[in-house]
Structure formats: C-alpha cells, structure tokens
Structure 1
C-alpha cells in the first residue's frame, strides 16, 4: 500500500481526498495534507489523516507520493523539498514548469534522489499519443482552449474583455505555450503538459478564448507528424466551487495512483 500526501486542500485537494477515501484510487492510503492555515473545526476531514500547517511534520511522514494541488507558488516552494524527502511528486500546476530554471532544478533534484515527476493528463486527453508521436518527426502541435466567462474571473481576461456583457467568442491569447502558461497560471496548465509531452513550449501554439456560447471548459489538441494526424476535443464540466478547474483533473490523479498499484495498466 502506497502512502500519499497532498499539498493543498482547496477544491482539487478535497476532491482527490474523497476519491482516495472512497477506494477509487487503488491500494493507497492518505496519510497527510499540508495546508496554509488551520481548517475550521466544523470542516469534514479524512479519517486517520494528519492535516497540518507544519512543513517539517508533513515531509517527515515517509510518504511514497506527494500530490501538489495548491498552485504555482506552492509547487515552487515545496517541489524540491517533496522530492528530497524521498517522495515521488504528482504535479497539477504544470504551468510553473514554463520557468526553465525551475523546471531544470526540479528535474535535477528528482534525478539526484531517484524519484519521479508525474504529470497526469488532467483536463486534456491524448498525451500518451502525443508523447509516442514525438518519437518520429512532428510538424505541428496546437491547443485551442475555450472556457465560459465564469471560468475567467480573477484572471488577466478581465483586462481584455467585459465578462458580464460578452456575447461572442473572443480570442484573448494567440501565441506559444510558454507565454500562455505564464499569463494564465490557473486556466491553461494544459498547454504546459502538452508542451512537455510533445515538442516544447516555444513550438507548441496556443489559442485561448472566452466563449459565452458554451458552459463547459473545452480543450482541442491538433497534432500532425510522421505518425499521422490526431484531433482530440474534450468538454469538461467545471467545478461549481471553482470553475477554473474540472472534476476530471482529480479523477486523473486517482487514475495515476490506481495505475501505480494495479496489476493491469491501460493507456500509458
């Protein structure tokens, strides 16, 4: 049985915790959760799990896997510490890896301690196909992300369009994946994951839309190369509590955990 810890207990952290508690994440046990501030005494928490603000106490739990579910700053703050404590690290704030120095530092730490950085498919599909396809020549990898206005509050999108009155789809970004990941740290982590699976941040093109005609977070991947061509489009129901993300993200983490403890592994 693998011992798991989670950094962050917001919408994603709670959803991952629930999936582990309901035995949908394989033969794993949730041992500890690191939070920024103590939880309200009335909040429901997982049984037999330490919830703490104490970094040392968390990283001394001898965890097999730590899941980062708390944003770019948390990954930058705790990523190397997680690896050096002897844990493999599942990363959800993949956009933070657009910072070359930070990415290389994490890789160096993982290699030094013989641990893995694990990036789930999360909000998109087809990363396995893209990662296989780059073993041959790739001509193009493109991502088109569309989200309804409610998913863009609190982001740079508010400076580009009136989210209250917008009536037609509006492109708020057209460029490469590195710039997309930096501009939209909570909304376009998928561009970073696609870049790492494929041909890199500079050569992966990204378009981002505020789209009032849809009610789901939509991502379309187009990839062309020696392997052929693939176009994959997913429509994700957003979390009610946090429309910037989707339940499929935590479900993807549960799949990763299940794969690590299952006799049968599919889709890698």
Structure 2
C-alpha cells in the first residue's frame, strides 16, 4: 500500500482526498495533509488522516508520494524538501518549472535521492503521444487555451480586459510557454506540462483567450513532426468553487496513483 501525503487542502486537495477515500485511486493510504491555516488543521480530528501546519511533522510521516496541490509558491517552498525527505513528488503546479534554476534543483534532488518527479496529464490530454513523438523530431507544438470569464478573476487577465463587459473572445496572450507559465500561474499549467513532454518552454507556442461564449475550460493541442500529426481538443468542466481548475485534474492524480498499484496499466 502506498503511503501518500498532500500539500494543500483547497478545492483540489479535497477532491483528491475524496477519490482516495472512495478507493478510486488504487491501494493507497492517505496519511497526512499539510496546510497553512490553523483553523483547517484543527479539523484533523474529523478525518482519518493527519492535518497539520507543521512541515516537520508532515515530512516525517515516511510517505511514498507527496502530492503538491497548493500552487507555485508551495511547490517552490516544499518541492525539494519533499524529495529529500525520501518521497516521490507529484507536481500539479507545473508552471513553476518554467523557472529553469528551480526545475534544475528539483531534478538534482530527485537524482541524488533516487526519487521521481511525477507530472500527471491533469487538465490536458495526449502527453503520452507528445512525449513519444519527442523521441524523434517535432517541428512544432501549439496550444490554444480558452476559458470562460469566471475563470479569469483574480488573475493577470483583469489588467488586459474588462471581465464585466467583455462579450466576445479576446486573445490576452500570444507567445511561448516560457512567458505564459509566468503570467498565468493558476490557469496555464497545461502549457508547462506540454513543454516538458515535448520541445521545451521556449519552442512551445501558446495562445490564451478570455472567452465569454463558452462554459468550459478548453485546450487545443496541435503538434506535428516525424511521428506524424496530432490535434486534440479538450473541454474541461471547471470546479464551481474554483473555476481556475477542473475535477479532471484530481481524477488524473487518482489515475496515476492507481497505475502505481495496479497489475495492469493502460495509457502510459
């Protein structure tokens, strides 16, 4: 049985927890959750696992896998410590890896401890095809992301467009993943995952739209190279509580955990 810990107990962390507790994530035991809020930590007695604000207590739980579900700052603060504590690290705030120095530190920590950094498909699809295609020459990869207006409140997009009055799709970014991941840390982690699977942050083209005409977070990938050509379009239903993310992200985490404990693994 895998012993698992989660950093973060917001909408995403709670959804992952439910999937683990309902046995949809395979042979997994959720041992501990690390949070910032003392009030949340006080709820620990209501759950069959530890909730703590004490990072030393959390990292001393002898965990097999630690899942980061708390944002870029949390990954930068705890990512290396998670690996050096003897755990594999599953990263959801993949955009933080656009910082090459930070990514390098995590890779060194993983190598030195013989642990792995796991990046699930999360809100995107086709990473297996892209990563396989990258073993040959890939000519280009383009990601077009469209999200409804409510997904952009509290982000950089508010400086670009009036979210209250916009009535047609508006392109707020047209460039490469390196810059997109920094500008939209909570909305464009998919571009970072795609970049790592494929041809890198500086070569992966990205377009981002605020689109008041849609209700779902939409990602379209177009890639071509020696392997052929692929075009994938994904429509994710966002969380009501946190429209910047989607339930499929938590479901993807559960799928990775299930793969690690299953006798049959599909789609790797």
> Which bin holds the TM-score, normalised by the shorter protein?
over 0.9
Shift of 1:149: 0.4
Structure number with higher helix proportion = 2
Q: How many residues align?
A: 268
Residues 101-156 of structure 1 show CA distances to partners (whole Å, capped at 9, x for unaligned) of: 00000000000000000000000000000000011111110000000000000001
**Residues 138-217 of structure 1 aligned to structure 2 (within 5 Å):** 138-217=138-217
CA contact 1:17–1:46 (8 Å) conserved in 2: no
The answer as to whether partners of 2:186 and 2:244 remain within 8 angstroms in 1 is yes
Residues 1:44 and 1:85: Cα distance change in structure 2 (over 3 Å): closer
CA gap 1:21/1:87 in 2 versus in 1, 3 angstroms: same
1:102 matched to 2:102? yes
Structure 1 unmatched ranges of 5 or more? none
Partner of 2:237: 237
Distance 2:109 2:23 in 1: 31
SS in 2 for 1:39: helix
Shift of 1:46: 6.7
SS of residue in 1 equivalent to 2:146:
strand
**Partner in structure 2 of residue 224 of structure 1:** 224
Change (3 A) 1:199 1:40: closer
| Deviations 1:31-87, CA, capped at 9 Å, x for gaps | 000000123589687732000000000000000000000000000000000000000
The whole-number CA distance in structure 2 between the counterparts of 1:104 and 1:150 is 35
TM-score normalised by length of structure 1 = 0.98
Deviations 1:136-188 (A, max 9, x none): 11111000000000000000100110101101100000000010000000000
TM-score, normalised to structure 2, is 0.98
Deviations 1:205-228 (A, max 9, x none): 000000001000000000000111
**Separation (CA, whole Å) in 1 of partners of 2:42 and 2:80:** 33
Cα gap change, 1:146/1:239 in structure 2, threshold over 3 Å: closer, same or farther? same
Structure-2 separation of matches of 1:44 and 1:61: 15
Residues 149 and 163, structure 1, Cα contact 8 Å, conserved in 2: yes
Contact 1:110 1:117 in 2 (8 A): yes
Cα RMSD, aligned residues only: 1.2
Tell whether the 8 Å contact from 2:44 to 2:52 is kept in structure 1 after alignment. no
Q: In 2 relative to 1, CA 24–55 (structure 1 residues): closer, same or farther, beyond 3 Å? A: same
SS of the counterpart of 2:38? coil
The 3-state SS of whatever aligns with 1:79 is helix
Query: Against the structure 1 CA distance between its residues 212 and 261, is the aligned structure 2 distance closer, same or farther, given a 3 Å change threshold?
Result: same
Unaligned runs of 5+ residues in structure 2 are: none
Separation (CA, whole Å) in 1 of partners of 2:62 and 2:153: 39
Does the Cα contact within 8 Å between 1:21 and 1:46 map onto a contact in 2? Answer: no
